[in-house]
Structure 1
Amino acid sequence: MVNQLLGQAQMAGAFEYFSRTVRTSKLAHVKENKLYRALAGQKNPHGAEKLTGTWEEFCNLLGRSVDQVDRDIANLRAFGEEALESMSRMGIGYRELRQWRRLPNDARSALIEAAKDGDKEAVEYLAEELIATHAKEKADLEKKVDDLQADYDAQGDLLAKKRAELDETTQQLAKARRRIETMAADEAVKELRQEVIGIAFEAEADISGKLREAFSVMAAHAEQTGTDHRSFQAGLVRQLEMLLLQIREEFQLTEGELGGAEEFGWLTQAGGTSLTESAEG
């Protein structure tokens, strides 16, 4: 078959007996089945050296470059013989075909069906519409990717900040622990509770301040757009509740109510500040 194709090409010149699509179909068959390897060992008609049986040699013997043949095969696979033959008769060139190959499968299918009618203007108009739609969808997708990347970066920055804050808190606790170890028992109790109260107050401030403000923003957004954020918010609150319950269970804490001000009177001694007073300040 290879020798037959070569003989026809050499005698008729670039397969004049075949239409472009039929010729390309035969070339695709040769490439896919690696039939060009059968040329290995035969004499090269253009030189004294023998052929090695490569795809490039086969294309060169036909007077065409590998890029040209591979481009024709790519067009054939993308559009099929019937549509490609119709497009060729309409005078649609390689530049358009290369651009149309990049369209999604459903868009190419629409072009293939339109091409079978042989109306060049209709095909070109449809191609312009499909390309514009594809470009918009691609731009929208790229924007979504950029937005997701921005969210990811923001979350990374937030996590890095929280990690730094946690590291600083850990260091402060380590310093406090070393300091407490050298104190008398009653002084150590006061120091230790002051440290823990400070940490608890920061957590309370984040919840009553930052989280409440964030929920207020979401509530305003819900009024403007009709979006219901309550299920999402409830999930966050439940997660915080579960965390507090885990801490209660881990340290075997009673469920009694918080004592009166006299229970924390030691905080106000020697310049201490109670949690309630700190919140009011």
Structure 2
Amino acid sequence: MIEVRDLTHRYGNGDPDEDPDGGPVGERDGDDDDGRAGATAVRDVSLQIPDGEFLVLAGANGSGKSTLVRHFNGLLDPDEGEVLVDGEPVGDDLVAARTRVGMVFQEPRDCFVAATVARDVAFGPENLGLPREEIDRRVERALAAVNMAGRGGERIDRLSGGEQERAAVAGALAMEPSHLVLDEPFTGFDEPARESVLAHLVELNRDGTGIVLVTHDLRDVLDPADRLVVLDDGAVAVDAPPATAVEALDDLPVRRPDRPARLLERC
């Protein structure tokens, strides 16, 4: 379980690489600084995200959603409050937190560290010091989970955008996290690529991986979701099951569902 307790985070709280949306420069969710250093990015947020839940975290650009999720595995430190993963404060053991909570950023190509798919997916397990046999097992399993089995030798720079996203997800899955957090994973995707990646996330969730999907665009994503949380100006404005929550979206700056979902119902 990820537990957020009374979390507050301010822009520019001493991290020279932090952008106004809370992430490292180049991983923002759409805004410029606008001179907001010292302003509150996330204010007094409390959430519990159980294992196995499919949570959609929505909000306009600059609403604080990217800032919030970067606290889940210690990429940012709170000014007030705390985050616990499986009952342990994130800051007490960053390696454990980053093993349990996998993170896939908006621009996965900026996070690749190797030329080929398999070598990149292996990077995390290698840094855990695992035996070679275990690393190979994790790489094979992770690639199969995103429908890229047998493609480990391919160069990442020759993959399509959707394939790169799936390779990034595989890299996170190779750490065998209990939760997978994806920050705006569909940016720049055409409709088939969006549907393909979302379908794979649904399958991962059915197999037991908790999903936290960060987005400003609610097309399609509410059908597989257990819960919708919407941030507005850094605070929780909505926290409810999708069928109930969608009724409260009229006054919030998010793109509402505009057609029936196409995915199969979750089992």
What range is the shorter-chain TM-score in? under 0.3
Larger Rg: 1
User: Taking structure 1 as the reference length, what is the TM-score of the superposition?
Assistant: 0.19
Q: How high is the TM-score relative to the length of structure 2?
A: 0.20
- Relative contact order, higher structure (CA 8 A, sep 6+): 2
Indicate the structure with greater helix content: 1
